[in-house]
Amino acid sequence: MAHLHDEKIQFIEEKANAIRQSIITMLVHAGSGHTAGPLGMADIFAYLYFHGLKHDSKNPFWEGRDRVVLSNGHICPVLYASMAHSGYFPLEELETLRKFGSRLQGHPHREWLPGLETSSGPLGSGLSQSVGMALADRIDTGSPSERFFFTLMSDGELECGETWEAVQLGAREKLHNLIAIIDRNYIQIDGYTETIMPLDPLRDKFEAFNWHVIEVGGHSIEDIHDAVEQAKAVFGKPSVLIAYTIPGKGVPEFERKFEWHGKPPSEEEGRRALDELRTLGGKIKSEHE
Amino acid sequence: MNELNQNLKLNPHLFEVGVEQTPIRKGYGEGLVIAGDTNPHVVALCADLTESTQTLAFSKKYPNRFIEMGIGEQNMAAVASGMSAMGKVPFITSYAMFSPGRNWEQIRTTVCYNDQNVKIAGSHAGVSVGPDGGTHQAIEDIAIMRVIPRMTVIVPCDTIEARKATVAAAQHKGPVYIRLAREKSPIVTTDDTPFTIGKANLLLQPKDPDVLIIVCGVLVYQSVLAARMLMEKGIRASVLNVHTIKPLDAESILAAARTAGRVVTVEEHQALGGLGSAITELLSEQYPVPIRRIGVPDVFGQSGEPNELLTHFGLDAEGITKSVADFVHPH
């Protein structure tokens, strides 16, 4: 397994920081939307869009691309920001999020924005769609191909029955180019997942369903890389990354609070958050000082 | 005499006592194989009902293009969406109660909103499922499918029309719902009868009709019989087979309604939300005429023999005759 060079890690970390800043700016402009999930998943998205994925932002319909299905559509600000930063569309367009006529719908709409693989929002359907894509791929190529089918999903949607229907089918079909990444941040709208509907032990559950399970810290680019590389190398079964993330990561004021699941920062909160991100928590001097 | 429309080349033996009877779902199975022969991208998914939904022939001929889904209709719809995203033309099948009954939101979001080319075949629709009882009698499916943008809704009247509808659905770009029935029912059409999605067929058109019967599915046969019985009572009834409930053939419906001046709709579905509602919406805006809707009157079905249930709900030829006669000549 090839390790990432330090310069590459730093490059991806800087992209993750830029993506977080865009998320804050977008949400403040939109005046509605979700804050905690997008910030928590910024490192994983930055890794995928700036290293892990086979894709071409200038040719979004390239047949050989890996597919990214965002199942929990509500964290789309992190997807939109990652796409803009990697060249799918101009950065300025990010500020149209959730506005009338925008290609950046409040939950993703595939038809409106090239580079989106599906429309999502209602939870629990993304993994099914990835399984369908991987099955179609196998019919065409005779065996699971070199294209990978990534599903980004929340821990909350593991409460949906359909998710487990898809888990069973993916295992039965031995789709080893199917990789699910679960944002294990332990929060959902009404509170903590383990209070609302206990999900642990997640590793045991997925192993019982015959998936290859990798637990990973969701904020270490190096660890994310190793986990994705391991998942890509697995043969004969699908893989799931249980990525432990901090909801609201990068802005201490928002971190680990389920209250930030479904609301945007106010202008003032946004200003503080951007300052925090630009100075990396005061480690570097703010340009506003 | 109320003669069949010669241009449609309908079954010449339609009014004979021993008219050939075949389940409508059988035509789906045949059409699916034809679609598969014609287009290598056609795939079939089924939720543990491969034989009874007539998906078996396709699964044997094209095992690599058949996916057994187990009992998971929600997953089935969304998996089909994913397969369509990769260029496949998936047909998903189960009983109508479960698909589209149980997986409506997946059909709405991952198929229709997502603009994926998925075909949904709902078998065992209507009260004529019989002994299985109310749990299995899908009589709300037309309503929940036709309300979704982009969805085409087809209710074939016999096995031949079901075969043609299935082949046409495979060629049509976009989501299609095909409603099928379990029981054997008389064959109304022939291989030569024209079938185009969205084009209604005027089966009977007496001179100076008193009433127009608009009907779909297995009750087309019952309505044609009813028209004959009505003739004996001195009531001249046209019969229009509206096999495509969405998009409606507004031109043919309006023309026939103008000629008759009165309309009765007949369907093996709730009188709410289905064919009768679609026709009422169209006519009330564009050519208001007196309308009576015949269907299941906002109740659930129950166990019984198919014919017994059709009689109970007034959906057999006698029941239709009585309702139409009451409507045309109220006491």
Rg of chain B over Cα atoms, rounded to whole angstroms, equals 19
How far apart, in whole angstroms, are the C-alpha atoms of residue B100 and residue B103? 5
**Shared domain check, B26 and B175:** yes
**Shared domain check, B179 and B47:** yes
Over residues A231-253, the pLDDT tens digits come to 999 999 999 999 999 999 999 99
**How far does A67 lie from chain B, in Å, by closest CA?**
10
Is A73 within the bounds of a domain? Answer: yes
**Shared domain check, B281 and B173:** no
Average pLDDT, chain B: 96
Contact A109 B113 (CB under 8 A): yes
**Shared domain check, B198 and B177:** no
pLDDT band at A89 (very low <50, low <70, confident <90, very high): very high
Residue where a domain terminates, one of B164, B186, B208: B186
pLDDT for res A280: 79
Over residues A26-44, the pLDDT tens digits come to 999 999 999 999 999 999 9
> Is B135 buried (19+), middle (13-18) or exposed (0-12) by CB count in 10 A?
exposed
Over residues A165-202, the pLDDT tens digits come to 999 999 999 999 999 999 999 999 999 999 999 999 99
**Shared domain check, B218 and B147:** no
Q: Is pLDDT above 80 for A284? A: no
Helix axes B219-232, B317-328, angle to 10 degrees: 50
Over residues B247-296, the pLDDT tens digits come to 999 999 999 999 999 999 999 999 999 999 999 999 999 999 999 999 99
SS in 3 state form for chain B? CCCECHHHCCCCCCCCCCCCEEEHHHHHHHHHHHHHHHCCCEEEEECCCCCCCCCHHHHHHCHHHEEECCCCHHHHHHHHHHHHHCCCEEEEEEECCCCCCCCHHHHHHHHHHCCCCCEEEEECECHHHHHHCHHHCECCHHHHHHCCCCCEEECCCCHHHHHHHHHHHHHCCCCEEEECCCCEEECCCCCCCCCCCCCCEEEECCCCCCEEEEECCCHHHHHHHHHHHHHHCCCCEEEEECCEEECCCHHHHHHHHHHHCCEEEEEEEECCCCHHHHHHHHHHHHCCCCEEEEEECCCCCCCCCHHHHHHHCCCCHHHHHHHHHHHHCCC
pLDDT for res B2: 56
Is A99 within the bounds of a domain? Answer: yes
pLDDT for res A268: 97
B53/B325: higher pLDDT = B325
Over residues A209-224, the pLDDT tens digits come to 999 999 999 999 999 9
Region B230-247: what's the mean pLDDT?
97
Who among A124, A135, A161 is closest to B83 (CB)? A135
Which of A65, A68, A116, A139 is the mutation pick for testing B, counting most B CBs within 10 A? A139
Region B83-112: what's the mean pLDDT?
98
**Shared domain check, B49 and B170:** yes
Helix (H) or strand (E) holding A30: helix A6-30
**Shared domain check, B180 and B32:** yes
Tell me whether strands A187-188 and A191-192 are parallel, antiparallel or unpaired: antiparallel
Contact A129 B110 (CB under 8 A): yes
How far apart, in whole angstroms, are the C-alpha atoms of residue B305 and residue B312? 10
Q: Does B113 touch chain A (CB under 8 A)?
A: yes
Is A211 within the bounds of a domain? Answer: yes
* Nearest C-alpha neighbor of A121 from the set A107, A106, A100: A107
Over residues A103-118, the pLDDT tens digits come to 999 999 999 999 999 9
**Shared domain check, B182 and B47:** yes
**Shared domain check, B264 and B146:** no
Residue where a domain terminates, one of B186, B205, B230: B186
The two three-digit tokens of residue A222, written as one number: 């190096």
Is A284 within the bounds of a domain? Answer: no
Could you list the residue range(s) of the whole structural domain that residue A83 is in? Answer: 6-279
Could you list the residue range(s) of the whole structural domain that residue B119 is in? Answer: 21-186
Helix (H) or strand (E) holding A163: helix A161-172
Is B1 within the bounds of a domain? Answer: no
ipTM: 0.94
Is B40 within the bounds of a domain? Answer: yes
Chain A CB contacts of B85 below 8 Å? 67, 117-118, 129, 132-133, 136
Q: Does A268 touch chain B (CB under 8 A)?
A: no
In terms of CA atoms, which chain A residue is nearest residue B47? Answer: A165
- CATH number, domain with residue B213: 3.40.50.920
**How far does A268 lie from chain B, in Å, by closest CA?**
36
Which of A118, A141, A159 is the mutation pick for testing B, counting most B CBs within 10 A? A118
pLDDT for res B330: 87
**Shared domain check, B288 and B229:** yes
How far apart, in whole angstroms, are the C-alpha atoms of residue B196 and residue B185? 22
Who among B65, B70, B78 is closest to A132 (CB)? B78
Is B50 within the bounds of a domain? Answer: yes
Q: Is pLDDT above 90 for A145? A: no
Contact B43 A131 (CB under 8 A): no
* Nearest C-alpha neighbor of A44 from the set A129, A143, A142, A154: A154
Is B47 within the bounds of a domain? Answer: yes
Q: What pTM does this model have?
A: 0.96
How far apart, in whole angstroms, are the C-alpha atoms of residue A18 and residue B279? 56
State the DSSP code for A220: -
Q: Is pLDDT above 50 for A289? A: no
Chain B CB contacts of A133 below 8 Å? 82-83, 85-86
- CATH number, domain with residue B78: 3.40.50.970
Who among B65, B72, B78 is closest to A129 (CB)? B78
**Shared domain check, B113 and B213:** no
Over residues B133-166, the pLDDT tens digits come to 999 999 999 999 999 999 999 999 999 999 999 9
pLDDT for res A30: 96
Q: Is pLDDT above 80 for B331? A: no
Q: Is pLDDT above 70 for B1? A: no
The 3-state DSSP class for residue A251 equals coil
**Shared domain check, B179 and B202:** no
Helix (H) or strand (E) holding A212: strand A212-217
Which of A107, A129, A141, A151 is the mutation pick for testing B, counting most B CBs within 10 A? A129
Is B245 within the bounds of a domain? Answer: yes
Please state the domain count of chain B.
2
Least confident of A124-128, B28-32, B127-131, B321-325: B127-131
Is A288 within the bounds of a domain? Answer: no
- CATH number, domain with residue A271: 3.40.50.970
pLDDT for res A1: 66
Say if residues A1 and A229 touch (Cβ distance below 8 Å): yes
CB burial string B303-312: b at 16+ within 10 A, e below: ebebeebbee
Contact B82 A169 (CB under 8 A): no
Helix axes B24-38, B159-171, angle to 10 degrees: 30
Contact B86 A137 (CB under 8 A): yes
Chain A CB contacts of B115 below 8 Å? 110-111
Please state the domain count of chain A.
1
